[in-house]
Amino acid sequence: MQPADPRPVRAGHALVTGGGRGMGVAIAAALARRGCSISLLGRTAATLGQTAQRLADEHGVPVHHALADIADEAAVAAAVAACRERLGPVSVLVNNAGIAPSAPFLASDTALWRRVLDVDLMGAVHATRAVLPDMLEAGRGRIVNIASTAALTGMAYVSAYCAAKHALLGFTRALAIEMVRKGITVNAICPGYADTDIVADAIANITAKTGRSREEALASLLAHNPQRRLVQPDEIGETVAWLCSDAAASVTGQGIVLAGGELMP
Ligand SMILES: NC(=O)c1ccc[n+]([C@@H]2O[C@H](COP(=O)([O-])OP(=O)(O)OC[C@H]3O[C@@H](n4cnc5c(N)ncnc54)[C@H](OP(=O)(O)O)[C@@H]3O)[C@@H](O)[C@H]2O)c1
């Protein structure tokens, strides 16, 4: 019997966008624990440098970091080239960098829409375009897009974010089919509200605009989550690592929901 194709990616070079803080750190750590060398791509040198040092110290793997605004295609291409030069061809890409500004639709102007689409959708497109030749040449690769439950349902006050994340899931599914016989899997993870700065900012926004307490604001965000708790970044990191393992060789084109039962697509 032929072995499963696409061939699994074991410890290789994993590139995580937005890897300096939040979920990106937990994702990079989960991959470093499996022996991957890590590139962190982001726009804030101080956070990236500190995280890179900590990951290298804790996991004993090479960790490189490179600067780029993910919305800037040329900057992303140059940063990926620098990562490749340092740690070799990229075998795992995690498109994690993202923003989630909230405002009612009529207060969300075109500049806000363009920025969210440029970062949350086109950022993943730019990074994927930059690494895909490595994966095609190797005949193997893993791409994981960090989408959101907002990729699967509508949510008030984040119309641009919902549109970008729906599009990111559409891109995931289309590329998965295009890559299905080339040894490359493409999946998305759709977390519910998770314990990172994005949610801390959302809570601060709610308390400022409504006068509610922090606890009330958090409870309102978790009202639709049957587990009534924030998803922990490590849960997302471990799911990414599983998608990059032998066990997930047949999983492609999926949007895996981590949201305590909030959605059951
Ligand atoms: N937290 C949640 O509840 C939640 C739920 C579902 C999905 N998500 C998704 O999970 C991903 C990570 O979010 P998080 O919660 O970890 O948020 P976070 O703590 O705010 O971190 C966002 C990361 O993205 C980077 N980033 C933002 N804009 C960028 C740009 N233009 N170029 C390069 N890097 C950029 C940030 O870098 P800087 O340090 O330079 O700002 C940071 O590393 C996002 O795609 C988000 O949509 C989050």
- Domain residue extents for the chain: 13-192+232-257, 194-230
Residue 237 beta carbon below 6 angstroms from any ligand 1 atom? no
Tens-place pLDDT, residues 10-28: 779 999 999 999 999 999 9
Residue 47 beta carbon below 6 angstroms from any ligand 1 atom? yes
Peptide bond into 6 cis (omega under 30): yes
Determine the pLDDT at residue 3: 44
Determine the pLDDT at residue 233: 98
Which ligand 1 atom lies nearest to the CA of residue 119?
Answer: 31
Tokens at residue 250, please?
A: 């047949």
Helix (H, G, I), strand (E, B) or coil at 2: coil
Residue 20 beta carbon below 6 angstroms from any ligand 1 atom? yes
- Is there a contact between 16 and 30 (Cβ–Cβ < 8 Å)? no
Determine the pLDDT at residue 1: 46
What distance in angstroms lies between residue 107's CA and the mean position of ligand 1's atoms?
Answer: 22
Residue 206 beta carbon below 6 angstroms from any ligand 1 atom? no
Among the four given CATH numbers 3.10.180.10, 3.40.50.720, 3.60.21.10, 3.40.50.1820, the one describing domain 13-192+232-257: 3.40.50.720
Which ligand 1 atom lies nearest to the CA of residue 149?
Answer: 6
Determine the pLDDT at residue 8: 56
Question: Which contacts qualify for 164-169: CB closer than 8 Å, 24 or more apart?
Answer: 164/116, 164/117, 164/119, 164/120, 164/121, 165/120, 165/190, 167/117, 167/121, 168/95, 168/120, 168/121, 168/124, 169/145, 169/255
What distance in angstroms lies between residue 27's CA and the mean position of ligand 1's atoms?
Answer: 12
- Is there a contact between 66 and 82 (Cβ–Cβ < 8 Å)? yes
- Average pLDDT, whole number, for the chain? 95
Active site annotation includes 157: no
What distance in angstroms lies between residue 97's CA and the mean position of ligand 1's atoms?
Answer: 4
Residue 191 beta carbon below 6 angstroms from any ligand 1 atom? yes
- Is there a contact between 145 and 97 (Cβ–Cβ < 8 Å)? no
Q: How far apart are CA 84 and CA 205, in angstroms?
A: 39
Residue 172 CB neighbour total at 10 angstroms? 25
From 40, 43, 120, 169, the mutation candidate for ligand 1 (largest count of ligand atoms within 8 A of CB) is 43
Residue 6 beta carbon below 6 angstroms from any ligand 1 atom? no
Backbone angles phi, psi at 145, to 5 degrees: -100, 125
Helix (H, G, I), strand (E, B) or coil at 38: strand
Q: What is the pTM of this model?
A: 0.96
Residue 102, amino acid: S
Phi-psi region of 94 (alpha: psi -120 to 50; beta: other; left: phi over 0): beta
Cα–Cα nearest to 41, from 52, 54, 57:
52
What distance in angstroms lies between residue 115's CA and the mean position of ligand 1's atoms?
Answer: 13
Q: How far apart are CA 129 and CA 178, in angstroms?
A: 13
Please identify every stretch of the chain with a pLDDT value under 70, giving residue numbers as ranges.
Answer: 1-9
